[in-house]
């Protein structure tokens, strides 16, 4: 299959490759696989929700309404999940806004119960899925000076202490 696709693309001029990309985005939207043009984030959210809903013992999740800040999925019990997607080999998530300020010693209002860190490969397939509680998020969060918000670095310590939901078989 990959050889046929590569052959197809090699016969296109640059503007036609962009046309295929635009059509692919439209098809992904029509199939309700994405809601926005944030392909990496949307793919990670889809994979996280799908994995939770297919795995016995995990909460059933549904996507949160678009535009809900810091919450991407909600369980049937009302638990809020923030989902951050990283493309391997990157190690840092996107940012979490309104979760307190750097240097502020008071605990911020709880914005979600869990953070799901989704790691996808260059083929957009799931490689790893980690779950952190709000308390773990507070422990591992790092300040992003430019964005003036928090993010997470996926370190060995974070991985060792996170709930490992999925690891790609070797």
Across residues 74-92, what is the average pLDDT?
Answer: 94
Helix (H, G, I), strand (E, B) or coil at 91: coil
Instruction: Let me know: does 126 contact 118? Beta carbons within 8 Å.
Output: yes
Do 18 and 48 belong to one domain?
A: no
pLDDT tens per residue, range 16-72: 999 999 999 999 999 988 888 889 999 999 999 999 999 999 999 999 998 888 999
Do 17 and 79 belong to one domain?
A: no
Q: In what order do the strands lie in the sheet with 126-133?
A: 61-63, 73-75, 80-87, 114-120, 126-133, 163-167
5: pLDDT strictly greater than 90: no
Do 45 and 105 belong to one domain?
A: yes
**ω into 56 cis (within 30 of 0):** no
- Six-digit token string for 22: 């635009």
pLDDT tier for residue 3 given thresholds of 50, 70 and 90: confident
What residues make up the domain containing 104? 39-167
Do 68 and 100 belong to one domain?
A: yes
Do 2 and 55 belong to one domain?
A: no
Do 58 and 121 belong to one domain?
A: yes
Report the pLDDT value the prediction gives residue 150, as an integer from 0 to 100: 92
- How far is Cα 74 from Cα 152, in angstroms, rounded to an integer? 21
pLDDT tier for residue 7 given thresholds of 50, 70 and 90: confident
Q: What are φ and ψ of residue 164, in 5° steps? A: -85, 110
Q: What is the DSSP letter of 147?
A: T
CA distances from 63 to 24, 40, 78 (A): 22, 16, 12
Q: What is the pTM of this model?
A: 0.89
Q: What is the CATH number of the domain that holds 76?
A: 3.40.210.30
Report the pLDDT value the prediction gives residue 106, as an integer from 0 to 100: 72
Do 74 and 19 belong to one domain?
A: no
pLDDT tens per residue, range 93-136: 999 988 888 877 777 889 999 999 999 998 899 999 999 999 99
Report the pLDDT value the prediction gives residue 50, as an integer from 0 to 100: 97
């Amino acid at each position: 299959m990959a050889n046929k696709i590569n052959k197809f693309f090699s016969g296109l001029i640059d503007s036609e490759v962009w046309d295929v990309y635009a059509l692919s985005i439209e098809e992904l939207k029509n199939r309700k696989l994405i809601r926005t043009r944030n392909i990496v984030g949307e793919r990670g959210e889809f994979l996280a929700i799908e994995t939770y809903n297919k795995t016995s013992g995990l909460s059933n999740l549904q996507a949160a309404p678009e535009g809900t800040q810091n919450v991407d999925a909600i369980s049937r019990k009302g638990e809020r999940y923030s989902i951050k997607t990283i493309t391997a080999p990157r190690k840092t998530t996107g940012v979490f806004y309104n979760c307190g300020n750097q240097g502020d010693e008071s605990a911020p209002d709880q914005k979600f119960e869990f953070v799901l860190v989704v790691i996808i490969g260059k083929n957009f397939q799931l490689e790893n899925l980690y779950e952190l509680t709000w308390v773990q998020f507070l422990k591992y969060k790092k300040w992003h000076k430019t964005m003036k918000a928090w993010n997470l670095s996926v370190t060995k310590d974070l991985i060792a202490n996170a709930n490992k939901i999925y690891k790609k078989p070797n």
